[in-house]
Amino acid sequence: MTLKGRSFLTLRDFTPEEITYLIDLAAELKEKKKQGIMHDSLVGKNIVLIFEKTSTRTRCSFEVAAHDLGMHVTYLDPASSQFGGKESVADTARVLGRMYDGIEYRGFAQETVEELAKYAGVPVWNGLTDEFHPTQMIADMLTIREKFGKLEGLKFVYMGDARFNMGNSLMLTCAKLGINFVACTNKRYFPKKDLVELAKGIAAETGATITLTEDIDEATTDADVIYTDVWVSMGEPAVVWGERIDDLLPYQVNEKAFEKAKDTAIFMHCLPAYHDRNTRVGEEVYKKFGLSELEVTNEVFEGPRSVVFDEAENRMHSIKAIMKATLSD
């Protein structure tokens, strides 16, 4: 299998076999790293990271993975380049494509990362847009496979804001890999109709099911994975917190949400998470609304079902796999 020269913009563009190949490669590179086996096969290459939004995991994963592969990295924060201000996306893409072997982009519109990829002439990796977060998917699927030894046939329940990058990406990924996906939330937070139709079409071929429901008991019965994400994403105004809390608090992931799940069920979250008051935003929300835990309770987050830090570690191994697969001969 070769993915050389391909951009990684959304999993819509990849076959189940290609996605599985990336998960396998991530597992292999993780093992090499644990055993101290060098894997700097991309010595001499250079990559650039463009971040229009903040990041801990994604940026650090790209940097560490690139160094492990022998590559050099340039980081551009939202204020330090001409991108978008004095220079168009297409012009920036053509400039950076002359200097770098690959470009990572985190920002707002999916169209921006698509435009970069159209003009760069080198692989572009989507480090998160409002619509999709594809590198997170390889890490999440690797994590699930490590816990259950398989992916196909599992029941995956997503609770909370299912109409943003994480809900969209997880629905598509589950469909591609034969995982039964349930979005369990207030119906105003279901993924968009056209994406649901696309996912259902893919699921029909892989044997997966796609379910959208407001019924927590129905959704969580026999669940293998319960997943959530923040209720207000990067780029959304703080003023929406009130309505999000009203709409989504019933879909908070707490111990009750796990009552009907399988004994072996795990909790996942892409992070960062609001599970206590130890963050500036968490504290502001507490002062305004009196809630110290939002999308997930501290009990679940810190409890034995939680695999969130394995998941975070796997970001690095999977981003390494994506870069290696798209840059190697």
Annotated catalytic sites, by residue?
A: 106, 133, 136, 229, 270, 315
Q: From the centroid of its chain, how far is CA 229?
A: 10
Query: Of 49 and 71, which CB lies nearer to ligand CP in the complex structure?
Result: 49
Residue choice 30, 57, 155, 244 for contact with ligand CP (CB under 6 A): 57
Residue 90 Cβ, how far from ligand NVA at the closest point, in Å?
25
CA dihedral over 117, 122, 127, 133, signed as positive or negative? positive
Residue 73 is a binding residue for ligand CP (CB under 6 A): no
Calpha distance 136→166 (Å, rounded): 9
Neighbours of 36 (CB within 10 A): 6
Residue 197 Cβ, how far from ligand CP at the closest point, in Å?
27
Calpha distance 8→132 (Å, rounded): 11
Residue 158 · residue 269 · CB < 8 Å? no
Residue 55 Cβ, how far from ligand CP at the closest point, in Å?
3
Residue choice 58, 129, 165, 169 for contact with ligand CP (CB under 6 A): 58
Calpha distance 113→324 (Å, rounded): 20
Residue choice 7, 92, 143, 165 for contact with ligand NVA (CB under 6 A): 165
Residue 230 is a binding residue for ligand NVA (CB under 6 A): yes
Calpha distance 328→315 (Å, rounded): 20
Q: Total number of residues binding ligand NVA (CB under 6 A)?
A: 9
Residue choice 20, 41, 110, 233 for contact with ligand NVA (CB under 6 A): 233
Residue 159 is a binding residue for ligand NVA (CB under 6 A): no
Collapsing DSSP states into helix, strand and coil, what is residue 302?
helix
Q: What is the binding site for ligand CP (CB under 6 A)?
A: 55-58, 128, 136, 270-271
